[in-house]
Amino acid sequence: MILIDNFNFAGKKAIIRVDFNVPLNKETGEVSDDTRIRGALPTIKKVIADGGCAILMSHMGRPKQNPDPKYSLKQIIPAIEKYLGKIQFAPDCQKAEEQAKNLKAGEILLLENLRFYAEEEGKPRMEKDDPAYEDAKKALKSAQKDFAKKLASYADVYVNDAFGTAHRKHGSTAVIADYFADDAKMFGFLINNELKAMDKVLGDAQRPFTAIMGGAKVSDKINVIKNLLGRVDNLIIGGGMTYTFVKALGGQIGSSLCEADKLDLANEILAEAKAKGVKVFLPIDAVNADKFDKDAATNTSDVDKTPEGWMGLDIAEKSIKQFTEVITSSKTVIWNGPMGVFEFDKFAKGTSAVAQAVADATQKNGAFTLIGGGDSVAAINKNRLADKVSYVSTGGGAMLEYMEGKILPGIAAIRGDK
């Protein structure tokens, strides 16, 4: 596998899969958060600085037709030009050969939203129970190859720098790689950094190693938890998934979130953790609410004595103290999912405290800390701690799948993972 660091793009046309799936302000249509655009800049700038030209391709949103102005990447041109100067735009990603051919060194061409074509995802745009679905899917699979081949024809080299879609086998994220030789395809800087951070915690973690798992449901995180059990020393559980464990252990959970069909699974995890010598920390106490509302009345109780009719929406003081101690004495920390309903101020304290503890572990204990998943990233940003932790992942779903030990098609297409 070749590395972008050592590659010279002089005189080459590079087609770069970026993740420009950015949020737009509903009223003005302007990009409201350009983090993803900024994330792609090092790779694009390297291509240009070497004397190559860059063809940028991305999806945005979930368009259902071609074209759909609401999802046009034309809208984000000013947000890109702010960092890269004037760029060109191809209004149809499958009809850009002339523009690509005429590109000169240092020039940048942005292709229109790839998902204007169903071929990008290879998924028919009809209900799964439609009798025509299976045939349409088969037809799209072969059309996807032509779609990707067309994109590949624009360039000499392929660079994948869209970590957020690396877990999808799409035209531009995986299939396209088949049309480039091994020495003409590589990851961009962003994906390289993501892989470095994740491989460090999965393969080369300093101890004690603590995983903090929060968020709504056990079922979403179960495979990650299982894969991490063989690696971590401590497993901290918080958020809504707490109560499936507490109930499984015989506690009273009032009307807290609970996955009744996952009680056995919760017990299995606890038994497996014990067998592997992993210390599991469930919350000790909780802040409860009389309804799921930002203005709900609150009280505090032991986590396993939630009063009837109340629901636990955050961890309380004793839990915060214990979790903080465990986190700040760790040398490796991975955190996915909030400790409570942090979207409501009344129930954000536990998540903020954990964010602070992760930052303190990094700054004061020299720990390597990796944060991933949309909500924990939002919590870190809300607490203005993003630059106080080691790495904030850009891909929620992709990161979770990698942590589960799954092969990501976008990574395998270049690195050859099996």
Q: Is 186 in the site for ligand AMP (CB under 6 A)?
A: no
**From the candidates 12, 13, 17, 36, which is the catalytic residue?**
36
Give the whole-angstrom CA distance, residue 248 versus residue 304: 11
Find the shortest distance in angstroms from Cβ 347 to ligand AMP.
8
Torsion sign across C-alpha atoms 95, 99, 102, 106: negative
Active site residue 309: no
Residue 45, CA distances (Å) to 9, 25, 107, 240 in order: 11, 27, 11, 42
Q: Is 240 in the site for ligand AMP (CB under 6 A)?
A: yes
Find the shortest distance in angstroms from Cβ 52 to ligand AMP.
39
Q: Is 343 in the site for ligand AMP (CB under 6 A)?
A: yes
Q: Is 283 in the site for ligand AMP (CB under 6 A)?
A: no
**From the candidates 374, 382, 388, 406, which is the catalytic residue?**
374
Q: Which is nearer to ligand AMP, 22 or 348 (CB)?
A: 348
Q: Is 395 in the site for ligand AMP (CB under 6 A)?
A: no
CA angle 169/171/176 to nearest 5° reads 105
With a CB cutoff of 8 Å and minimum separation 6, the contacts of 46 are: 4, 9, 189
With a CB cutoff of 8 Å and minimum separation 6, the contacts of 200 are: 368, 370
Options 11-19, 94-102, 204-212, 336-344: segment touching ligand AMP (CB under 6 A): 336-344
Running DSSP on this structure, what letter comes out for residue 92?
S
Among 44, 90, 222, 313, binds ligand AMP (CB under 6 A): 313
Active site residue 11: no
Active site residue 397: yes
Q: Is 372 in the site for ligand AMP (CB under 6 A)?
A: no
Q: Is 341 in the site for ligand AMP (CB under 6 A)?
A: yes
Half-sphere exposure of residue 388: CA atoms within 13 angstroms, side-chain side: 16
Active site residue 294: no
CA angle 143/145/146 to nearest 5° reads 65
Tokens of 46: 């390297």
Among 122, 124, 188, 239, binds ligand AMP (CB under 6 A): 239
Among 112, 285, 375, 401, binds ligand AMP (CB under 6 A): 375
Active site residues: 36, 217, 374, 397
Binding site for ligand AMP (CB under 6 A): 215-217, 220, 239-240, 257, 312-313, 337-338, 340-341, 343, 373, 375
